[in-house]
Amino acid sequence: MDNIHVIIEELKKRDYSSFDTFYDLTKNQVFYAIINIIKDHSLAEDLMQDTYVKFLEKINDYKSNSNPYAYLSTIGRNLAINMYNKRKREIVSEEIFETIAAPEVEEPNDEIFKILDLLDPIEKEIVTLHVINDLKFREIAPIVDKPLGTVLWIYNKAIKKLRERADDFI
């Protein structure tokens, strides 16, 4: 954890020599914060880039004692939600005018998504943020804008659901 904070301090000084390390340390968190909302793998990668660009652009807003994984997850999630809403509007618009086919979505084919797809969107997100992104529940609560108790309840419900359906993905 200390290492990433050292790198962030360097990034604040516009020293990008360790950015690849920073990216390696955080890319999973950013990717999964996005991919659960935008299922398109290549679009998720575009949004990953936007997430890091935004992070670096506003890096002086980042408080040194914050959790960078939660911070990046929040940026990625917000960008993904914006993109999701934008695409939803585009698709609706296209359906109305019937001029352009709806864009095809490249569904991720990895096993992890088969597991996560057994869950509701909010369950999927909370499980992802906690299990994959290693965020604490109190860090997840503000991200998903739900009380801590609700987050815990949804998480336990989701894990119970996965355990019950383990045969589907083993």
Binding site for other proteins (CB under 8 A): 14-16, 19-20, 22-24, 27-28, 31-32, 45, 48-49, 52-53, 56-58, 60, 108, 110-112, 115-116, 127-128, 131-132, 159, 162-163, 166, 170
In angstroms, what is the minimal distance from the CB of 52 to other proteins? 4
Cα–Cα distance between 67 and 35 in angstroms, integer? 20
**DSSP category for residue 119:** S
Nearest to 54 by CA among 28, 32, 82: 82
Whichever of 57 and 98 has its CB closer to other proteins, that residue is 57
DSSP character string of 30-91: HHHHHHTT---HHHHHHHHHHHHHHHHHTGGGS-TTS-HHHHHHHHHHHHHHHHHHHHHHHH
Whichever of 96 and 170 has its CB closer to other proteins, that residue is 170
Rg of the chain over Cα atoms, rounded to whole angstroms, equals: 17
In angstroms, what is the minimal distance from the CB of 98 to other proteins? 35
In angstroms, what is the minimal distance from the CB of 12 to other proteins? 8
Whichever of 10 and 94 has its CB closer to other proteins, that residue is 10
Whichever of 21 and 85 has its CB closer to other proteins, that residue is 21
